[in-house]
Structure 1
């Protein structure tokens, strides 16, 4: 996977801890490919990924 952001991709950072977070939200974060605070993932912008981002918006930053 390259680190270049193309028009059809989105870059996601986990910036809050998962301690005390709902289990389904933890699973969503894991599904986005994020493990630790400040980890980064570059994903293709699909409706599924955008829905996952909307669910855990309070834990992540994206661009």
Structure 2
């Protein structure tokens, strides 16, 4: 599987609780925090849910 870097670029203030929890489940804790995750279908679905809040970089 490919690795993906996910970086939070927008704040979760005022966002629905589901989007906040999705970022936390990806391992992102704060603004400009980057995590490296496997590109599984489950992770890609979570990224699609919060794509307006994050930046994606393929490895």
2:27 alignment counterpart? 33
More relative contact order, 1 or 2 (CA 8 Å, 6+ apart): 2
Structure (1 or 2) with the larger CA radius of gyration: 1
The Cα RMSD (Å) is 0.9
> 1:41-60, aligned counterparts within 5 Å?
41-60=35-54
Question: TM-score, with normalisation over the residues of structure 1?
Answer: 0.87
Structure with the higher strand share, 1 or 2: 2
What SS class does the counterpart of residue 18 from structure 2 fall into?
A: helix
Following TM superposition, by how much is the alpha carbon of 1:21 offset from its aligned partner in structure 2, in angstroms? 0.5
Unpaired stretches in structure 1, ≥5 consecutive residues: 1-6
Unpaired stretches in structure 2, ≥5 consecutive residues: none
2:3 alignment counterpart? 9
Equivalences, count: 57
